[in-house]
Each structure stands twice: as C-alpha cells, then as structure tokens.
Structure 1
C-alpha cells in the first residue's frame, strides 16, 4: 500500500511510554521527514488543534520554515479557529498576516477543488481527532486524500494520538448505504485508530500518494492523558477530555428525543425516570463509569461520572444508554425512507433502530453487531502503526 513504506517498522519502545519520549507527528516532521516538502509549495489542512507540545501552531512552524513555501490553508467544520457552531457554513477568507488564502472545507465545498490545489505541490494534514466515526475531521481527511489523488498531489498526514486510546474498538460497523459526512467509511463508532492509521485505512480505496509521519514514544494503550499534552478545545462542544470521552456515549440519540447536555456529560429525555435510568445503567456493569440521576427541566437523565478513562467504553455505553432509555419512555425511533435519517447516518446502519423498535436489550444489540465488529478488528490490524 502507498504510504506503508514510510511508517513500516516505526514502533514505540516496549513497555509504558514515558511522556518525555513522546513526540507528535508535527514535531518529528521537520526533524526527519522535511524532504517531503523541501523546495515545494505547501498547503496545510489544520485548525486551532494543529499545535505542537509547546502550543506553537503548525501554521507558524511551516510559515517560518525556510526550505518550503506555505501557500494555502484549509479549514474543516467549525473553521480554522474552531469557533463556528456545528453544521454552520464557513466562508473562505484570507490569512490576516500571511496573506495567503484560507479555503473553507465546510462551505461551498467539503472537498478541495482543483482551483484550491493549483498553487500547491504537497498537502499537509494536522488536526486533532476525537476517536469517533461521526466527528467530521476524519471525513475532511478522507475528502482531502481523494482530492490529492484526483489532482496528483502528495498528501502528508502528521500523526496524532487517538484520545480514547488504541485498544477499545466498539459499535456497529458502517454499511456502504449509510456513508455520509458523519460516516465516511466502513468504521465502527469508535475505531481505536490514530489519524495516521485512519489515513492508511482510507487509502485502501483511494490510492493517494500518502505519507504518514508517525509519532514517537506512542503505544496503543495510551489515552490522551498519558501523552502529557494539553487538550486544545477541538470544537465548541468539546472543551475538555470529559467531553471527548462522553461524545459517543451521549450523542447518539439524533431525532429520538434522547439528547446530550453539558457538552456530552449528561444524557436523557422526557418521560424518563432519572433514578430508574441510573439504576439500569449502573447494574449493567459498564466499565469505567457510574451514572448519577439528574433531572434537567422536564427531562429525566443521568450524568456520567467517568471513574477509569482507560477502561471506559464510550460507544458501548452509548448503545446501552439508548436501549435503556427506550425501555423507559418508548421513544419513536427515526426510520429512513427515500432519504436516510440522521439517526441511521450516525449509527451507520438502520439495524440499531430496528433492534430498538423490537425492544431488544442492549446485550442483544451488542451481540448482533459483534460479528461485523470482529471482522473489522481483524481488517484494521494491517493498517496499525504502533504496537
């Protein structure tokens, strides 16, 4: 596979990685892989999360680098500063000091056009993901890889940690029919892959001239807290790591009346008895989390208290939270017809909706999606960079 050669054999040392050993892909880039951009015009896909361990932006690093020319910037959903609301249209603009274009990839187009790429030789990607399939930064990566392939450009992905870690892989695997910008490929809800590993996975169908610059001192069992990095708010509703971990656990109820609140730290809905809901969830033995009954206005629900971030399984928790909510208030499950409803796009299938309508327990739902999930776990092995 294109791009595998660059990362083959690059593994973190065995045993627990020490924070002093850890380096982001953007810190390894100019030390060891500068040849990929030397003498070339560079376009950078990034936002406010594209910083090194010292907090310096990759925009500044590349703008100051004397052996290449930064000629264009590209921003994903929420804009290059991460401040636009979810789903909000973002206009292209001009960088105030560098006087180079900032092309919006969440405006008139979500894929870089030939015109947007005409003044670059290499496209570099440096954005922090949160480890969930429906978070659109990985969709932007996929679209940029496709655009690079179509326009004969090299694409370089500067690897970053999956904040949820690299061992927990969970949820229904997306089916082709349900591909969208909130589900760009056949991934489960939480995939346990870094942005670089995802790029290699995506490239099985794209065939771009892809190079992944790996991290150093990173192992699969590391969650974001183990890196020693400071979390940079990745979007308006993901201000901190509690929100990162809560996203897939509380944000799955699109169109059901089961909703998240307090930046993905609470889940509930009308007609739910908070105490019964908490009791069901606490009895389920979900790892690394306890549920505190908490009413919000007319809605009953629970606050998630994550007790062990390494053990916590966000997507599994989300499936259980939805199934138990349905058992309590029998919410109407959204169903796809000629158009596919957002609920099924988020799930990556219409099967979860059907299981909920049938009154299946969360354990039964989990058992039903397990075969496809296990198949994915085997497939993903060939795209993993770190031990």
Structure 2
C-alpha cells in the first residue's frame, strides 16, 4: 500500500508539473518595475519623478508602482499622469477625465484624457524624469500605448528623460497580423505604422516609436521573458485594465470582435461575442468554423434581434485576433451586406481603427477574407522585417 501511495503521489506531482508550465516558467520572471530598483535605480536616484500609470501599474505582488516609488527614499514622487479611463481605470471608453490630486500623497494627477492628451510644459515643470508603467493589451487601437507615444513626444519637447518600465504583451510576441496603419490614418487609436496585432511589449513599442521621436529614452527590461510567452506564462494575475477588459478572454477577443465601428457589426459581453442584425447565427458560425481559424471555434448565439457568434478560444497560443477579426467582418458582410463606412473630408472611425481605407474598399468589393489577407500581406511582411530592429527579447 505504501508503494502504491508513493507511486500515486509521483504521478500526481508529475501531472501537476505538466499542467502548470506557466508557474515553472514564471519562477524567474520579473517586471520592469521590479528590475528598476534592483538594477536601474541610478536612472531615478536623487530625482523628482513624474509617473504615468493607472491601476494596472503594479508589481508581481500586486503593489502599485505609485506606492513603491512614494516609499522609495532616494527620490521624490512629484506628479502622476493618468490615461483614458482615469487613474483607477473605471471611466467609460471615450469619457472625459478631469485632473485631480492624489488623496493621500497630495500630488497632482494630471489627466491625459481631458483637456489634453499630451503632458504640457506646465505639467512637466516640477519633474526631472518621466516614468511610464501601464499594462497594454497588444492591440494597436488600445490607447495606453498612444499615451506612451504622446508622453515620449512631450519628453523630447521639454528636454526630460523618459523611462519605460517594461511589461508583457498579453498576446505574446509571435502573432503579428492585420493591415499596417498608413500615415494618413494616424489618430489617438493608431499613432504609428503598426499592424492591428503587433506582438511587441511596451518597451519595444517605445523603441519603435523613438525612431521618429528621438526622445532620451531608457527601457527597463523584464527578466525571464521570451517572445513565445503569453500572459498566462508569466504567473501574473490579470488586473482589469479598463471597464471592458475584465479578463484575458476579453483581451484576446478585442481585435477579433471590436473592428466593426459604424458597420452595425458589434461586439458584446466584453469582446466575447460578435454579430449584427440580419445575420443568421448558424450560417455565420458555419462560415467561420469552416475557415479553420487557429485556436478558436464559434458558437451560434442570438442577442435580441441580432445574430452572431460567441468565440470559444481553444488555444491562446495560436489564436490570431486580427486575422479572426478580418474574417468575422468579411463573412458578416457576405450575410447582411452592411453599409461600409467611407471617409471623405473627415476620416471615419472605421478607417482609423483599420489604419487604412483599403479594408473598407475590399469589403465593398466583396473580396473573400483570404483575398483581403493577400492584399495587406506585403505591408505586413515589410513591418515584420522593420520591427526586428526594436525587439528586446529572444
């Protein structure tokens, strides 16, 4: 019996090791905000610090970078800067956020989603170094990295160094897909020539942005991180990054379900469902499932008068959000012939999200998803080569 129990315990332990690779990989993982004080403290020691952050700016133990820097004796934390959704991440998408003061530290929290989206000279007057620590979701149109870009521009203009505390791209560093943004379509939901799913960390994006900005930039890298790691491999708990990003399923679903601005094709249940009026959910699911998109299956589901599908992500490593989103839009149009928004003197949000007017043109022409992929592939392949210069992790 003792031998049997010993053998059983061995199998249980072995099984648990096989089912928890993320924890094994995460044992030597450190965020940039943890590496900062261990190896890069010289970047901030003796300085007045301005911190760009929100509720996602926490270390592996869940302690906020605000608290860590406020308690660090060698610096003076003099200002905070908050992005869209505010310092606590609770404001709705697009909602105006007022500047305010921190309730216990008594220092200003300057809103970068209110009167301005770029720190002004006045906002930067009382700091020596600008530090950035926020968790992105890996999608071009999510505005936290737009805030990073604008902060880098402001740092350059005001002769302030900027330090980016690196964090993982939740989608990993291997999936790179979608149309590449063209200069004409730059906006706050697309600040640079990136594809929808870029596969870069905040620090890598900062290096990419800096090819045009030329700021005094220092990236504090993570330790124990590789390109093949998705968020689940880090061992970190997900901190809700905005009202509609409660969990990783929403993070992965964002580019797959949130591309239909102005078409009548919409997302629901925090980016876990996509559909619209005039769509037969069973036909829609059949089209998408027959396409054999990697890492996902589609379950027909009606929501009121709209027909659509619920995404069931079966493999988070192979799931391709941008590709899935293009297929979902193209098949939706084949079923209900929605009117494609078109830019004129003003650029419509649909084209801003796409980063080009070409996807709308291809949808209007009735091109298949594969044909659309082939159209944007040359620019995407060019980007993949260009981004190699700015990558940090193997």
Q: Same fold (TM over 0.5)?
A: yes
Alignment map for 1:329-344 (pairs within 5 Å): 329-344=336-351
Q: Deviations over 1:307-363 (max 9, x none)?
A: 000000000000000000000000000000000000000000000000000000000
Alignment map for 1:1-387 (pairs within 5 Å): 18-387=25-394
Structure 2: how far apart are the matches of 1:367 and 1:300?
28
Structure 2: how far apart are the matches of 1:26 and 1:385?
16
Q: Give the match's secondary structure for 1:295.
A: strand
Q: Deviations over 1:276-335 (max 9, x none)?
A: 000000000100000000000000000000000000000000000000000000000000
Structure 2: how far apart are the matches of 1:373 and 1:49?
30
Shift of 1:46: 0.1
Larger radius of gyration: 2
Shift of 1:18: 1.7
Structure 1: how far apart are the matches of 2:25 and 2:188?
36
Q: Which has the higher contact order (CA 8 A, sep 6+)?
A: 1
Q: Give the match's secondary structure for 2:162.
A: strand
Match of 1:4 in 2: none
Structure 2: how far apart are the matches of 1:135 and 1:286?
23
Structure 1: how far apart are the matches of 2:80 and 2:285?
46
Q: Deviations over 1:6-30 (max 9, x none)?
A: xxxxxxxxx9972111000000000
Match of 1:9 in 2: none
Give the aligned CA root-mean-square deviation in angstroms: 0.9
Structure 1: how far apart are the matches of 2:221 and 2:198?
18
Match of 1:11 in 2: none
Structure 1: how far apart are the matches of 2:82 and 2:208?
22
Structure 2: how far apart are the matches of 1:214 and 1:161?
10
Q: Deviations over 1:348-381 (max 9, x none)?
A: 0000000000000000000000000000000000
Q: Give the match's secondary structure for 2:219.
A: strand
Gaps spanning 5+ residues in structure 2: where?
1-20
